[in-house]
Amino acid sequence: MKPNFITEIIDEDLKTNKYGGKVHTRFPPEPNGYLHIGHAKAIYLNFGIASQYGGLCNLRFDDTNPTKEELEYVESIKEDVSWLGLKWGDRLYYASDYFPQLYECALDLINKGKAYVCDLNADQIREYRGTLTKPGKESPYRNRSVEENLDLFMRMKNGEFDNGSRVLRAKIDMSSPNINMRDPVIYRIIKDASHHRTGNKWCIYPMYDFTHCISDSIERITHSICTLEFENNRPLYDWVLDALGAYHPQQIEFARLNMDYTVLSKRKLLELVEKGFVSGWDDPRMPTIAGLRRRGYPPEAIRNFCDGIGMAKFNSTIDVTVLENAVRDHLNKAAPRVMAVLRPLKIVITNYPDGKIEELDAINNPEDASMGTRKAPFSRELYIERDDFRENPPKEFFRLSPGREVRLRYAYFIKCVNVVKDKNTGEPIELHCTYDPATRGGDAPDARKVKATLHWVSALHAVESEVRLYERLFTKSNPEDVSGGEDFKVNYNKNSLEVIRSARIEPAIKNAKPLDRYQFERLGYFCVDLKDSAPGRPVFNRTVTLRDTWAKIEKRINKK
């Protein structure tokens, strides 16, 4: 990790021996949704710091809200953290395991006169809290005796009261300029929900601000790294631990990752899932780790991206192309090349012997000679990309057109001599071409040049495949940019998924396994879908396009 303001703080603490020379961090997800790319930043930060300083990092589920949390999320989080390449070993913790200790801490605060049971309802509490410009009002229940508070809190625990009828609050300062310090609620009653680990054992549940600092303290965390929006919660974090006289980690805030053309909030992502905008948390358009994985993003690329953007103290929005470029950089070196035709146009090479098949040598990766070569079958009938032919080629279009000669990759020069068209639509449905046998391998002995090299597959050998093309999930760079009464979903990109049912792929990858990644020459990087592929029938997801596409050139020409 590059030096940053967090490593500076840690370096300083090590110098002064603040935590006995130890560094111990944690990643504390709430299991109320799937992890997203923002969490990846926090994961690499916390695990990265621990490993850099020879310290430890805990994975801790912050599972104190039984109404929103589920086992499915716990399992997905473990899977995603492992997939990102991080190991928590035996340091897997659950805040819910601390319920008994947290309860004891609450009793301790009550006994010290620092917490009280309050009978105001949620609306009243809000009303009494005041605003940024107006101080709060003290609750009429604030001065209950320790005995009464102990009795009521115990009865809350025993399930004697209804949800919302009473809460336990820290007794701090209703006129504090920091609203978090105006007697925050630290325990509430939730009677009817079953917790994924403790079942129906508890009728009361501790709030985040109370749980988090105590969990950090119990685990002897040294540096409790969280996102900026918790800056105003830090005084409360410190107050609780001081009031309890407990071991005290240092909370440090950093800027959360925001990225354009997407949303990074579990609540909003859940909405997309529940309202059917996407097929699930792992839809390849989602910024979730599960979605990125299924889309074909390699964990190494995600890590490189997180390293590259660095750590900041101020919020900013990262251009999604930065992430896409990290993926391209990695796959350019790692992904074998193959040929696939997404929208096939048949060509017949009229002077190529019927029934003849040649096995041509194709290079697996020009970036990595050790990946070797493979055989690509060539025959009289081939498919090329529909877009690679224009009957009336515009300026600067150098690919196939009537009378024009082009190179077929690893094969021969071919020339288009006749276009067969659909009688009704007038669309070309088949091209008749001739080939020059002397150009085998792609060069002409007379040194004549062609301006384009096309990819192709042999019609006889190609495997029909489904290919899914993904675009950005939102049409606006800031999906939250909406007019009154609307929300981010109005900016959903209805064209973010295109399914091509009968692409043709080279036979070499017929038996590709889920998550195998390839570069389809000239088209982009593709990955075998994790869920919908069957043996011998891979479905491909487009991970990311190549940098330069004809579409861009065309746009530029049209602008001229």
Q: Centre a 10 Å sphere on the Cβ of residue 185 and count the other Cβ atoms it contains.
A: 16
Q: Give the closest residue to 62 by CA, choosing from 87, 35, 80.
A: 35
Q: Nearest distance from residue 30's CB to Mg ion, in Å?
A: 5
Looking at the Cβ atoms of 41 and 374, the one nearer to ligand ATP is: 41
166 and 118 in contact (C-beta within 8 Å)? yes
| 257 labeled part of a ligand binding site | yes
Query: Does the annotation flag 432 for ligand binding?
Result: no
Q: At its nearest, how many Å lie between Mg ion and the CB of residue 490? A: 26
Please report the sign of the dihedral spanned by the C-alpha atoms of residue 136, residue 140, residue 146, residue 150: negative
- The interface partner of residue 48, options being ligand ATP, Mg ion, none and the CB cut-off 5 to 8 Å by kind, is none
> Annotated catalytic, 30?
yes
40 assigned to a ligand binding site: yes
Query: Is 266 one of the annotated active-site residues of the chain?
Result: yes
Alpha carbon of 254 to those of 4, 18, 124, 402, 486: distances in Å? 10, 21, 34, 60, 30
- Which residues lie near ligand ATP (CB under 6 A)? 28-30, 38-39, 41-42, 226-227, 256-257, 264-266
In angstroms, give the least distance from the CB of 230 to Mg ion.
Answer: 9
Residue 30 or 260: the one with the smaller Cβ distance to Mg ion is: 30
Nearer to ligand ATP by Cβ, of 28 and 136: the residue is: 28
Q: Is-catalytic flag, 375?
A: no
Kindly name the residue from 166, 169, 182, 266 that is annotated as catalytic: 266
Q: Which does 41 bind (CB under 5 to 8 A by kind): ligand ATP, Mg ion, none?
A: ligand ATP
Shortest separation between residue 318's beta carbon and ligand ATP, angstroms: 10
**Is residue 441 left, alpha or beta, with left meaning phi > 0 and alpha meaning psi from -120 to 50?**
left
CA-to-CA separations, 447 to 196, 402, 416, 443, 444, in angstroms, rounded: 72, 22, 20, 7, 5
Check if the beta carbon of residue 190 is closer than 8 Å to that of residue 147. Answer: no
Whether the CB-CB separation of 533 and 514 falls below 8 Å is answered with yes
Q: Which of residues 17-56 bind Mg ion (CB under 5 A)?
A: 30
Question: For ligand ATP, which residue has the nearest CB?
Answer: 38
Residue 371 sits at the vertex; the CA angle it makes with 369 and 372, to the nearest 5 degrees, is 75
Nearest CA-CA partner of 498 in 177, 275, 186, 284: 284
39 is annotated as contributing to ligand binding: yes
Residue linked to tokens 């449905």: 429
Q: Which of 153, 116, 156, 157 is nearest to 138 (CA)?
A: 116
Residue 257 interacting entry, from Mg ion, ligand ATP, none, C-beta within 5 to 8 Å by type: ligand ATP
484 is in an annotated binding site: no
Q: Is 335 annotated as a binding residue?
A: no
The number of angstroms, rounded, from the C-alpha of 553 to the middle of its chain's C-alpha atoms is 30
Q: Which of 60, 166, 169, 256 is catalytic?
A: 256
Ordered alpha helix ranges (H), 227-372: 234-244, 266-274, 289-295, 299-309, 320-334
Residue 532: CB minimum distance to ligand ATP, A: 27
Nearer to ligand ATP by Cβ, of 42 and 81: the residue is 42
> Min. distance of Cβ 235 from ligand ATP in angstroms?
18
Q: Is 150 annotated as a binding residue?
A: no
Cα–Cα nearest to 215, from 74, 28, 66: 28
32 is in an annotated binding site: yes
Select which of 18, 22, 30, 191 is catalytic. Answer: 30
- Measured from the CB atom, the residue of 309 and 444 that comes closer to ligand ATP is 309
**Binding site for L-glutamine: what residues are annotated?**
62, 208
Binding site for Mg ion (CB under 5 A): 30
**Binding site for ATP: what residues are annotated?**
30-32, 36-42, 227, 256-257, 264-266
Catalytic residues: 30, 256, 266
**Binding site: what residues are annotated?**
30-32, 36-42, 62, 208, 227, 256-257, 264-266
